[in-house]
Amino acid sequence: MTPQELTPNEVARAEQLVSRISGVSSCRITTGAGGEIAEVHVISAGRKPAKLVARDVESLLKAELGIDVDHRKIGVVTVDEEEAAVSPANSPATSPAPIPATASATAPAPARAPADDVEEFPIEEVPVRFAFHSVNLFSDRGGVRAEVELSRDNLQAFGTGHSENTTAQPWSVIASATLQAISEFLDDDTRLCLGGVLKVALADRDAFVVRVDLIEQTGARTLAGCSVVTGNEHQSVVFATLDAVNRVIGKLEFRSTIEYRIK
């Protein structure tokens, strides 16, 4: 993954977006000399586990700003909601008295308030997920054709989908192209079949829901993925398809190498 150079304004925008995640109280992003993200520090006062908060941060930056962040660079500190609400500023009657300026330098330090008792949870290592690179759609008298490019662990693959129906929405064609690209990474004994694509209203937003049937030697499973539409509908279909498959990525069998080609 090539590091993405960010401007100060883009960094500030990313911090604002992350701070809007439910339960997140603050976010601080540090960058390297070239403007690439070095670390993402997040404080969460919600009940969600740290690794899930980190996954939300990773997904939000990718979906909203197109920024790829290695999950290992995201650190999450969780603070108890009730204790965080009872801070010295909110409870003056129980606040410790200030230490006089003449106090001995050897005097023991005052006990830390409960709100300072935080614990940082390490983020668990997870298998490398499929990453989106591009989606292109072509239409002519012969029908509609979609091309999707993905990568995983420094390997890249193309997938294509085709339909002769030029009047229908291209969602299924794009999802099929995504599954074909994923299949380039998988062992021959694993098959991915598209079960359907649906665009639904989710409160005041639209979202795509994709069903994928995973067929292996040991049996078949039905997977589902979802992606909120934030701009490009074609990309949202790809993200929803990836969301379905990425849920079981740790249980899939992969090829050691793949050919870089379009079928």
What single string gives the DSSP state of each residue in 33-102?
Answer: TTS-EEEEEEEE-SSS-HHHHHHHHHHHHHHHH-----GGGEEEEE--HHHHHS-TTT-GGGSPPPPPTT
| 3 CB neighbour count, 10 Å cutoff | 14
Residue 139 CA to residue 146 CA, distance in Å, equals: 9
* pLDDT above 90 as % of the chain: 25
Residue 30 CA to residue 37 CA, distance in Å, equals: 6
Give the domain extent around 43. 1-126
The answer to the question of residue 258 being in a domain is no
Give yes or no: residues 142 and 120 share one domain. Answer: no
Amino acid 225: pLDDT? 93
Give yes or no: residues 89 and 154 share one domain. Answer: no
Amino acid 257: pLDDT? 52
Residue 113 CA to residue 253 CA, distance in Å, equals: 50
Boundary-marking domain end, from 64, 97, 126: 126
Amino acid 117: pLDDT? 52
Give yes or no: residues 193 and 213 share one domain. Answer: yes
Amino acid 118: pLDDT? 53
Give yes or no: residues 118 and 185 share one domain. Answer: no
Residue 61 CA to residue 64 CA, distance in Å, equals: 5
pLDDT less than 70: residues of the chain: 1-3, 46, 80-127, 255-263
Into how many domains does the chain fold?
2
The answer to the question of residue 260 being in a domain is no
The answer to the question of residue 137 being in a domain is yes
For residue 216, the surrounding DSSP H or E stretch is strand 205-216
For residue 206, what is the domain's CATH number? 3.30.160.270
The answer to the question of residue 46 being in a domain is yes
Tell me the residue type at 229.
V
Give yes or no: residues 173 and 207 share one domain. Answer: yes
Residue 110 CA to residue 17 CA, distance in Å, equals: 36
The answer to the question of residue 256 being in a domain is no
Give yes or no: residues 90 and 197 share one domain. Answer: no
Amino acid 82: pLDDT? 53
Boundary-marking domain end, from 98, 126, 154: 126
Give yes or no: residues 2 and 120 share one domain. Answer: yes
Residue 160 CA to residue 148 CA, distance in Å, equals: 6
Please, are residues 208 and 171 in contact by the beta-carbon 8 Å criterion? yes
The answer to the question of residue 190 being in a domain is yes
Tell me which residue of 59, 48, 78 sits closest to 18, measured CA to CA.
59
CA angle 204, 206, 211 (to 5 degrees): 140
Taking only the tens place, the pLDDT of each residue in 155-170 is: 888 999 999 988 889 9
Amino acid 207: pLDDT? 95
Give yes or no: residues 168 and 107 share one domain. Answer: no
Give yes or no: residues 113 and 136 share one domain. Answer: no
- CA distances, 55 to each of 32, 139, 143 (Å): 22, 36, 38
Give yes or no: residues 117 and 7 share one domain. Answer: yes
For residue 18, what is the domain's CATH number? 3.30.300
The answer to the question of residue 259 being in a domain is no
Boundary-marking domain end, from 111, 126, 141: 126
The answer to the question of residue 261 being in a domain is no
Chain Cα centroid distance, residue 233: 17
Amino acid 145: pLDDT? 93
Give yes or no: residues 101 and 137 share one domain. Answer: no
**From its phi and psi, is residue 210 left (phi > 0), alpha (psi between -120 and 50) or beta?**
beta
Give yes or no: residues 108 and 182 share one domain. Answer: no
Amino acid 95: pLDDT? 45
Residue 111 CA to residue 109 CA, distance in Å, equals: 7
